[in-house]
Structure 1
Amino acid sequence: MIGRLQCTVLDCPDVLELARFYQGLLGGEVNRPDPRWSVDSAWATLHLGDGHVLCFQRADPYRPPAWPDPARPQQFHLDVGVPDLARAREQVLALGAEPLDDGDPARGWHVYADPAGHPFCLVRQ
C-alpha cells in the first residue's frame, strides 16, 4: 500500500451549499475542525459518521457534468444505499436534487444531480 484515501473532493460553484446538500443526504458534520484542512469560501468539508470525508472545492468558472452526454461526462459518481427508493426520492428532491432519469420503480436505482450538477444514484439496499 502506498497511501490511504484522505477524502473525496467535488468541484462546485458554492462550497457550503453543496456541503449542506450532502449533509442532508448522508448526515455528518460540515466544516468540523480538522488539522488537515482549513476551510474558507473556497473549501468546505463534510465528515461522515463512518470516517469518510467529502470535500468541496470552489471552481470558477464551474462547468457541471451533463449526464449522460459524453462531451461533458460525469467522471465519477456516488452510489447511496437507501431502504425505500420512493421516500428517498422525495427527500433528495426536497434538498434540491434534480432527477436525471425517469425513476422507473421496477429498477433498483435512480439517477439524480446534486445542486452543482454532479450525478449520484440512490440504490435500493
Structure 2
Amino acid sequence: MTGSTASIGATKYVFALDCPDASALAAFYARLLGWRASDTSPDAEWVDVRPPEGESAAFWIACQRVEDHRAPEWPDGPIPQQAHLDFYVASIADSTPHALAAGARKHEYQPSPDGHFVVFLDPAGHPFCLCEE
C-alpha cells in the first residue's frame, strides 16, 4: 500500500547478535550500556540485554549462541561485517575508557577522517561505533 502508515504491529524491537557465548557477550553489552542481562548461565542459548527497570529503549539487544561462530573480519576479509551498532554519545573521548573497561577493543582501522565516530570490536568481534553528532 503506497503512502500507508500501516505497520506489522511490532511491539518490541530486538537486534540479535550471533556469538560463541551468549551470556558473556550479553554481560559485555550490559556493562557498556548500564543495562541488564536477562540470563547469565554459561549454557544460555539466548540472552536479552534490556534497559534498567523503569527505563525504556527503542530497541533491545539479544545475544544468541551459535556453534562454530566466526567473527566478522572488517573492513576486509572473507567474513563480512553484515551489521553493526552505533551508540551516540556526548563525547567519544569521555566514553572510550568505559567501553574499553567493559571489554571492547579499539579497531586498528578507523575510517572517520574527522573523528566523528570511532570503531570498536565487542568481545565476540562484532564492530560497533561510538559516534558524535
Aligned length: 118
Do structure 1's residue 2 and structure 2's residue 23 form an aligned pair?
no
Equivalent residue for 1:50? 56
Equivalent residue for 1:35? none
1:25 to 23, 28, 32: 32
- In 2, distance between residues paired with 1:104 and 1:10? 24
Two-structure CA RMSD over aligned residues (Å): 2.1
The alpha-carbon distance between structure 1 residues 61 and 68, as it changes in their structure 2 partners (threshold 3 A), is: same
Q: Which runs of 5+ in 2 are unaligned?
A: 1-6
- In 1, distance between residues paired with 2:31 and 2:117? 19
- 1:43 maps to amino acid: W
Structure 1 window deviating more from structure 2 (80-89 vs 101-110): it is 101-110
TM superposition score normalised by structure 1: 0.83
What SS class does the counterpart of residue 56 from structure 1 fall into? strand
- In 2, distance between residues paired with 1:105 and 1:94? 25
- 2:118 maps to amino acid: H
Give a deviation string over 1:61-111, Cα, whole Å, max 9, x none: 110001102521111111001111112111111111111135979411000
Residue 24 of structure 1 and its aligned partner are, at CA, apart by 1.4
TM superposition score normalised by structure 2: 0.78
Residue 30 of structure 1 and its aligned partner are, at CA, apart by 1.1
Give the 4+ runs in structure 1 shifted more than 6 A: none
Percent same amino acid at aligned positions?
A: 39
What SS class does the counterpart of residue 18 from structure 2 fall into? strand
